[in-house]
Homo-oligomer: A and B are copies of this chain.
Amino acid sequence: MKKQGADILKQSALSITASRKDILDIFLASSSALAHQDIELKCSDKFDRVTIYRTLQTFLDKGIIHSIPTTENAVKYALCKDECIVSGHHHDNHVHFLCDACGITICLEEVVVPQVKLPKGYSLKDINMVVNGTCKKCKA
């Protein structure tokens, strides 16, 4: 049986509500990262825009989703994998791909973000790597 939104909510000790379940199911059904607006288009008939904002924030806080900064000034969100939580801390250390042609944003789970050495004085907490280019489907 496939993983459902409700399962994830239980795991994260969040109360189970219609909006949270539905929004999680939207993520589970999507193969690419979603912007707030993408989600709004899919369920603003059922839920208020504000609820979507708050739900996404809750998911971020709980480490259910992670955010992906894009060059188009639009943050996108994607589910975190289970293996993501190692010893109580999150590890979204994969590369993200953004297609300039179709705009799709994808987690490249199998591509690990390379380490970098920072100049003296800077302490590193997190690295974000976003690659632009052309995706499989849009290839000429």
Residues of B within 8 A of A74 (CB): 73
The residue from B71, B111, B139 contacting A119, defined by CB atoms under 8 A apart: B111
Please encode chain A, from 76 to 101, with 1 for each CB lying within 8 Å of some chain B CB and 0 for all others: 00000000000000000001010010
Interface contact B97-A128, CB-CB below 8 Å: no
Could you list 29 A-B pairs, sorted by A, with CB under 8 Å?
A71-B75, A71-B128, A73-B73, A73-B74, A73-B75, A97-B122, A108-B118, A110-B119, A111-B116, A111-B117, A111-B118, A111-B119, A113-B116, A114-B116, A116-B129, A116-B131, A118-B131, A121-B135, A121-B139, A122-B131, A122-B135, A123-B133, A124-B133, A126-B131, A126-B132, A126-B133, A127-B129, A128-B128, A128-B130
Footprint of B on A, CB under 8 Å? 67, 69-71, 73-75, 95, 97, 100, 108, 110-111, 113-114, 116-119, 121-136, 139
